């Protein structure tokens, strides 16, 4: 964010016009949501401000809600012009790489968008920062099976996710709602009963349409990585693979290994389903066995 | 083998000429090895017969040994003519797919063969049925680093492996030397304390130059596969990946799962280093944890 | 059993009188149960014979059933006279040690028996070979909470267990019902990826009122005990502790151990709830970690 | 400690007489050790002060060292008079319960003391706070096998441990040497992939001559105990058993359990060998499996 965060306390003291100027774009082309919260000021927490906005959205007449949904850009639009997307929308879609779709994927998104728009009368809305590309496609397919009422509610729920992230980025203050997840690991050498330091760890996103390394680290003396493998935002829902260079570690310890070693690069494949949660995925290993689990 | 196996007892009773006719081609173009064992008949076991042949090889003068080494075909020769390769050599190299090398790999093998031949004066000999293609390349590179004496011994040792397999295929009788390995698995549902039946399991060979599925099965009510995943011959040295469809199993059990499930397809990557051994690689799992180990 | 087993085929061909003489005492003082099965001969399996007897018992008028229940001895009677107990009852109660109760326990059993008899009008019946002493006390307490109908059914069900064991001991033939359980173990050295041979294993029954070693063995080269730790009959429901001398094993392997070793005698405490089942309780261990599970 | 800790900085600024008055009793009846460090002031850390004292002890003539050893009280002396033991010695021996020995144990200690004194010419010295009673007996037996030189060094080494603890209790300041260990646990419900909260945990010291509960706690929502099970001093070398009430936990979760449950109270028996280390001994469990390891 190039913009400086606004203190919540300042928002509470602003004039109505200043407040709407400062927060009116949190909801896409819908400053009326911010206006609806004016009376509820002051807010003790950022979470309370967001809750008030979401309540205002839920309380609005159906045609206003529909207009808000219709004001969202199509997902994966190849040629995005500044006038069409809000700044925030551009940044969010770029994070996922939806602006770098191949021809085939672009065609698929275009077809899904057309089918979705035809069926529901508004564009497919999803909080892209909470999803991998594969997960978006899975949600697209699943939500196309919804009836109109359920899908309207689903779209509103996604707007709550999107705006929560925007608000947290925009406003500084106490009681921020939880928007960040965390993925951590820990490697234990259970042959020697001590942390395994110096183990190279890579994290891959494993998608049907793409596979890419999203993090890499080396374990420290406590068998952990100095920083979480993923942090600082929602963990995108999707499938991942941790790869631990276990063979190199045990060779470096002078352990008696088979040739080639029974275990060399150990892959741990798992999916993230809760973007705001902490996933601790450790590896307990000897040259001949390992186990993993979702820890805390 | 289209040829019918010869009873050991019959070999023991044959005339010398018959014996040499029946076993002279076990060692490539070197019936003299069979001849050297004539006096030691009768053999109580097939293993004893093979040991006698190998002893005869070790006792032979250096120039005879060298001629034997030189009588072996080059590995991975693209255009193999019947007159150059023995029947057995063709079958063995075919098993690995060395007759189906791509242009680049063929060029690599050709270069390695040329370098090896130039350095040692005989072709690179390896018991291909005990190796994957990757393992052969690794051995090639490693053995090129040997001095002449060590490499001469390494080649003789490989001939012992090759001929052991040929003899076991040719001769029926007691005391066959162990030439078969076995890979088995077992899936336990440790959330419910019982075998996991109906779990789809695939085995892949994971090579730098190739990756292919080499076995597939579904676990039975005891959580095992009805037949070993690999059996009936040496286990080729190399790297493998077992993939267990754990998510589908737990979904079928009605377990409460995340969406997507934390564990879906579980990969277990491991290497085989002992072709004649039993590798038992089980999976103990709940929807949130698993462990594996080399068992027995 | 000093008595020789009678072939099922012979039972099928006997006169009615011979058949009743041979099987009339399977149900305590109630030859009429055997008589009720005469018409159904021949029986293809021992299980079918037992099922016919149990069906005959279920079909009998209530007063006959009640008389049968009342014909059973009181559990834990201190001074048992040959005329009161059938031979089979004596052997079965002796196996558990109910004939060697201390004064306090005897008083407790006497009080429970009196309370039970007063409430239900027949003695407490339980298949003692399927229970430890603690489990009998637990069942006693639990069944005292039953209403009359439920307890009548529970007593009949126990008679089916008791007579199944008696019939299986008396009759030889195909299709014996499953009456035997099995407890086995397996020790794997996961630091070295191989079975742990030479590990001393003891099995204790852990009861509130008693604790005793019921089996001891040393693992063989495959990490298993040559014979199951428990077999040859129902596994008595109750709590057990396996103790593995892991420290001595790893010291013998020359492993680098702490002083004293982190793991020395490893206790695995578990309960058996299914007397006719197979309990496989392995130990996977290094000097610094272990795991166990109910396997198969 | 009723005494108030003295700031290191203050010690550095004291007159020589004040310094010796403040620290002269750290080494039993041997103010000369403190005197030997006067010239080295100021000390940047408490560890440096202790190191200087130990260096002074090592540099002292043999007869002074011997006098120091001889100045120590006999271990386990039943009737200890204030004039014989220093205040610190009394507190330390009391912690272990050596002042509450039974007749037989007292006799054993007396005999060992007599044998030891006769052989080496000074009393058996050991830092009792780093040992359980069993461990002291084991050390007594082991050290009786030392030759005179080795045992002299062993006694000096124990005095370093004893005085390190005394100095850390006496002096406040930066760079305290590590004298505290820590025992922690963590319970994970791997059937549900989350921490197991509400699990009762007890820690027992398991000794040949005594067994007692030394800690009890209930796991919190994160599956940990609010405070370490042992902390605030050296962890006494010895054997312990953690007992986890796993059956009650899973019953409370509504898990489908056997009757009785396969796992109820789970004992984890282990030994502590490094008094100043962190022992993390977690339990990963379902109703049918568990594992533990020394973690970090």
Q: Which residues of B touch C291 (CB under 8 A)?
A: 291
In the numeric block, which tokens belong to residue A241?
């693979």
Mean model confidence pLDDT for chain B: 90
* Residue A291 contacts C where some CB pair is shorter than 8 Å: yes
Distance from CA of D89 to the nearest CA of A (A): 35
CA distances from A279 to A134, C172, D107 (A): 20, 59, 57
Nearest to B69 by CA among B151, B168, B167, B164: B151
Question: Running DSSP on this structure, what letter comes out for residue B174?
Answer: S
* Residue C262 contacts D where some CB pair is shorter than 8 Å: yes
Distance from CA of B208 to the nearest CA of A (A): 13
Q: Measure the CA angle with vertex D203, ends D198 and D208; round to 5°.
A: 155
* Residue C211 contacts D where some CB pair is shorter than 8 Å: no
- B192 and D291 within 8 Å at the Cβ level: the answer is no
For residues A72 and A119, give the distance between their C-alpha atoms in angstroms, rounded to a whole number: 16
Interval D39-63: pLDDT, tens: 999 999 999 999 999 999 999 999 9
Lowest mean pLDDT among C15-24, C130-139, D189-198: C130-139
Q: Which residues of C touch B284 (CB under 8 A)?
A: 293
Nearest chain A residue to D192 by CA: give it.
A294
Per-residue pLDDT of chain B (296 residues; tens, 9 = 90+): 446 899 999 999 999 999 999 999 999 889 999 999 999 999 999 999 999 999 999 999 999 999 999 999 888 764 333 344 455 554 555 444 566 566 777 788 889 999 999 999 999 999 999 999 889 989 999 999 999 999 999 999 999 999 999 999 999 999 999 999 999 999 999 999 999 999 999 999 998 766 789 999 999 999 999 999 999 999 999 999 999 999 999 999 999 999 999 999 999 999 999 999 999 999 999 999 999 999 87
Distance from CA of D187 to the nearest CA of B (A): 14
* Residue A194 contacts D where some CB pair is shorter than 8 Å: yes
Q: For B292, phi and psi rounded to 5 degrees? A: -145, 165
Q: Which one of D258, D271, D289 has the shortest CB-CB distance to C262?
A: D271
- B237 and A260 within 8 Å at the Cβ level: the answer is yes
E strand or H helix at C272: strand C265-272
> How many CB atoms sit inside 10 A of residue A231's CB?
14
Judged by DSSP in three states, B187 sits in strand
> Does residue A83 carry a pLDDT above 50?
no
Nearest chain B residue to A245 by CA: give it.
B269
Do β-strands B289-293 and C6-7 pair in parallel, antiparallel, or remain unpaired?
Answer: unpaired
pLDDT score recorded for residue C210: 61
Distance from CA of C283 to the nearest CA of A (A): 13
* Residue B208 contacts A where some CB pair is shorter than 8 Å: no
Interval D132-161: pLDDT, tens: 988 998 999 999 999 999 999 999 999 999
In the numeric block, which tokens belong to residue D80?
């200890």
**Residue found by looking up tokens 């808000």 in the block:** A68
Q: Which one of D261, D270, D289 has the shortest CB-CB distance to C263?
A: D270
In the numeric block, which tokens belong to residue C221?
């080269």
Interval A5-21: pLDDT, tens: 999 999 999 999 999 99
Interval D194-253: pLDDT, tens: 999 999 999 999 887 667 899 999 999 999 999 999 999 999 999 999 999 999 999 999
Distance from CA of C278 to the nearest CA of D (A): 13
Q: Which chains touch B (3 or more CB pairs under 8 A)?
A: A, C, D
The answer to whether residues D189 and D175 touch, using CB atoms and an 8 Å cutoff, is no
Nearest to A237 by CA among A282, A200, A197, A279: A279
> How many CB atoms sit inside 10 A of residue A218's CB?
12
Distance from CA of B207 to the nearest CA of A (A): 13
Nearest to B261 by CA among A128, D223, A269: A269
Burial (CB count within 10 angstroms: exposed 0-12, middle 13-18, buried 19+), residue B273: middle
Q: Which one of D190, D256, D289 has the shortest CB-CB distance to B288?
A: D190
pLDDT score recorded for residue A237: 96
Nearest chain B residue to C283 by CA: give it.
B295
For residues D232 and A263, give the distance between their C-alpha atoms in angstroms, rounded to a whole number: 40
For residues B45 and B43, give the distance between their C-alpha atoms in angstroms, rounded to a whole number: 6
The answer to whether residues A101 and A109 touch, using CB atoms and an 8 Å cutoff, is yes
> Does residue C26 carry a pLDDT above 90?
yes
Q: What is the pTM of this model?
A: 0.90
Do β-strands D289-293 and C289-293 pair in parallel, antiparallel, or remain unpaired?
Answer: antiparallel
The answer to whether residues D58 and D155 touch, using CB atoms and an 8 Å cutoff, is no
- The separation between the first and the last C-alpha atoms of chain B, rounded to the nearest angstrom, is 31
- D188 and A293 within 8 Å at the Cβ level: the answer is yes
* Residue C269 contacts D where some CB pair is shorter than 8 Å: yes
**C-alpha C18 chain-centroid distance:** 30
For residues C290 and A68, give the distance between their C-alpha atoms in angstroms, rounded to a whole number: 58
For residues C15 and C35, give the distance between their C-alpha atoms in angstroms, rounded to a whole number: 12
- A289 and C287 within 8 Å at the Cβ level: the answer is no
* Residue C202 contacts D where some CB pair is shorter than 8 Å: no
> How many CB atoms sit inside 10 A of residue C239's CB?
21
* Residue B142 contacts A where some CB pair is shorter than 8 Å: no
* Residue A270 contacts B where some CB pair is shorter than 8 Å: yes
- C273 and D291 within 8 Å at the Cβ level: the answer is no
For residues D252 and D254, give the distance between their C-alpha atoms in angstroms, rounded to a whole number: 5
Ranges assigned E (strand) in D124-180: 171-172
Distance from CA of C258 to the nearest CA of A (A): 10
Percent of chain C with pLDDT over 70: 89
């Amino acid at each position: 964010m190039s913009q400086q965060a606004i203190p919540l306390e300042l928002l509470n003291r602003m004039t109505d016009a200043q407040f709407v100027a400062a927060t009116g774009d949190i909801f896409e082309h819908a400053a009326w949501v911010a206006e609806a919260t004016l009376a509820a000021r002051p807010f003790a927490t950022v979470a309370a401000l967001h809750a008030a906005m979401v309540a205002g959205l839920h309380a609005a007449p159906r045609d206003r809600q529909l207009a808000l949904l219709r004001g969202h850009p199509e997902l994966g639009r190849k040629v995005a012009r500044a006038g069409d997307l809000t700044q925030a929308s551009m940044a969010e879609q770029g994070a996922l790489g939806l602006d770098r779709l191949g021809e085939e994927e672009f065609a698929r998104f275009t077809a899904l968008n057309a089918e979705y728009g035809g069926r529901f009368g508004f564009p497919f809305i999803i909080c892209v920062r909470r999803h991998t590309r594969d997960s978006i496609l899975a949600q697209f397919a699943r939500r196309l099976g919804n009836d109109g009422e359920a899908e309207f509610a689903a779209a509103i729920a996604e707007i709550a996710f999107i705006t929560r992230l925007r608000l947290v980025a925009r406003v500084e203050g106490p009681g921020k709602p939880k928007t960040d997840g965390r993925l951590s690991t820990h490697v234990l050498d259970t042959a020697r009963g001590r942390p395994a330091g110096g183990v190279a760890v890579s994290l891959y996103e494993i998608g049907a349409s793409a596979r890419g390394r999203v993090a890499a680290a080396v374990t420290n003396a406590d068998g952990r990585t100095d920083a979480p493998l993923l942090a600082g935002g929602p963990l995108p829902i999707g499938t991942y693979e941790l790869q631990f260079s276990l063979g190199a570690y045990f060779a470096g310890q002078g352990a008696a290994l088979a040739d080639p070693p029974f275990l060399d690069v150990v892959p741990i494949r798992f999916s993230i389903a809760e973007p705001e949660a902490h996933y601790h995925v450790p590896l307990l290993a000897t040259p001949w066995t390992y186990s993993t689990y979702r820890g805390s």
